[in-house]
Amino acid sequence: MHDLLPYIQGQLTQILGDMQYFGPEICLSLLFVVVLITDLLFGRNSEKLCRIVACGGIILVISKDIIQLQLIGEHNIFLFSDMLLQNHISLIFRLIIDSSALLLLLYFAWDEPLKSHTKKLSDLYSISIAAILGLHLMTMAANLLSVYLAIEMVSIASYLLVAYRSENAFSTEAGLKYVLFGASASAIMLYGISLLYGFTGTLSLFDPNFVAGLIQVNAAGTTFALILVLVGIGFKLSFVPLHFWVPDVYEGAPTPITAFLSTVPKIAAFGLLLNFLTPFLISQQWKAFDFGLYLSVIGIITMIAGNFAAVMQNNVKRMLAYSSIGHTGFALMAIVTFTSQGITALAYYLAVYVIANIGALMLVTYFTKITGSEDVNTYKGLGLKYPAASVCFIIILISLTGLPVTAGFTGKLLVFSAVYSVYQANHNIWLLLLTITGALTTVVSLFYYIKIPLNLFLKRTDNAAEPIAQSAYILIFAVIISIVLVLLGIFPNWLIKFL
């Protein structure tokens, strides 16, 4: 026992030293406890108070993120015995996550079906904060154990969010499907992790013995294990063929939860994917598994499947679900470059995609209250009755499509530029195919996004009902989001200089 005392003392000293780089996560942990206690103390009357505490806490977390950015600089710092990795790009991803989370926490109370739930929204805020903490850990995970724990933390919170409206059969069914698919993906990933540990004798991704151990193993066994781990990450990214849960879950979940699932977990999953790939990319001897080839093929198939499936949808939430799959495929283009230019393009693209997608789903909530339906055909003739919301919807859809002069166009241009720069250097045919597929599927996306403005302004309806009073908050934020997307399209350096 006495022999262990110096070791324990050294570990405690290291942990306390690492705490200075773990400020945002400590704040999130405390915020979760505070919101939970607030709910317990004030019961059914705690909804507004929990919302204020949650939003105030997230603002504090954002400030801590900014402090960490200044503290870290361009360094890579390993925390808690190499379990977590703190660096510039993971902090950028966390800033995007936290900024989006603040908007989503505000949005929860603007959705009438969700707000009218008998349990109210207090539990929703605490579950969301737990999910955000898990998302932070996903972007920092540098050990296969921390990878699994972070993904499971986010998954459990996501299951609860999807099935939150337990009195709604459709929502409950979506939650059950999500649990079944998620549990299967987690089990497959855990099997892959166990194989990698058996091959290498270490769980640390950045341990020199990790890649060195895999090099000594038969290439087929290594490939099999890596594919199993990528299944778990791919489930969160929802790329093909791990996308099958997305349409039903996004349609069945309350719209603000759909906005949550379609945005912030994807950012964290891309951050996790970068951490997972880095040890293999920096190794000069690694040749057993060509990540560039596999991810290029997945990206091409995902863009094609997501965008062409979206064309056939009339339900707006299902349309945006398939659209998000297509956007995942496009974002994989930036990953495949494996360059700093590609990572900057990825961060910009994800930031503007998140803003636009949340704005689009806010307006789905807005028009669903008017029509009582999520079918795009029920939007006929509403453009002139609700001009501000309709114009904002069109601007947001233009950005999601990637047309000038919006931020979506700049994001796609940055990704295309990054891919083409690498193609000029190595003339990899897969990069050329990615570029061509990205351009063609951007054109395809016009065919389903245009359904909304077509019905809003160009089609007429016999229904002469008077305009319905709507939430002013959704309209105000839709206007703000539209202005931000246009301004970032005209002045992209306002955002790029921080990435």
Q: Report residue 144 as tokens.
A: 């296969």
Phi, psi values for residue 443, rounded to 5°: -65, -40
Q: Is residue 17 part of a domain?
A: no
Q: What is the pLDDT of residues 443-464, one digit of tens each?
A: 999 999 999 999 888 877 655 5
- Report the pLDDT value the prediction gives residue 300, as an integer from 0 to 100: 94
Q: Which domain holds residue 488?
A: 309-499
Q: Is residue 214 situated within a structural domain?
A: no
Category of 402 on φ-ψ map: left (φ > 0), alpha (ψ -120 to 50) or beta: left
Q: Is the dihedral of CA 192, 196, 202, 207 positive or negative?
A: negative
For the segment 356-403, what is each residue's pLDDT rounded down to a tens digit?
Answer: 999 999 999 998 888 888 888 888 888 888 889 999 999 999 999 989
Return the number of other C-beta atoms located less than 10 Å from residue 166's C-beta.
12
Does 10 map to a domain? no
Task: Determine the pLDDT at residue 407.
Answer: 93
Supply the DSSP string of 298-364, one letter for each residue.
HHHHHHHHHHHHHHT--BHHHHHHHHHHHHHHHHHHHHHH-SHHHHHHHHHHHHHHHHHHHHHHHHH
Which residues of the chain are under the pLDDT cut of 70? 1-11, 44, 166-168, 461-471
Has this prediction a pTM greater than 0.75? yes
Query: What pLDDT is stored for residue 1 in this prediction?
Result: 53
Position 257 in a domain: no
Given a contact cutoff of 8 angstroms between Cβ atoms, the answer to whether 96 and 354 are in contact is: yes
Q: Is residue 476 part of a domain?
A: yes
Does residue 273 fall inside a structural domain? no
Going by C-alpha positions, the residue among 385, 373, 375, 380 that lies closest to residue 460 is: 380
Give the C-alpha separation, 197 to 192, whole Å.
9
Block residue for tokens 């919006």:
406
Q: How many domains does the chain have?
A: 1
Q: Does residue 379 belong to any structural domain of this protein? A: yes
**Is 336 a domain residue?**
yes
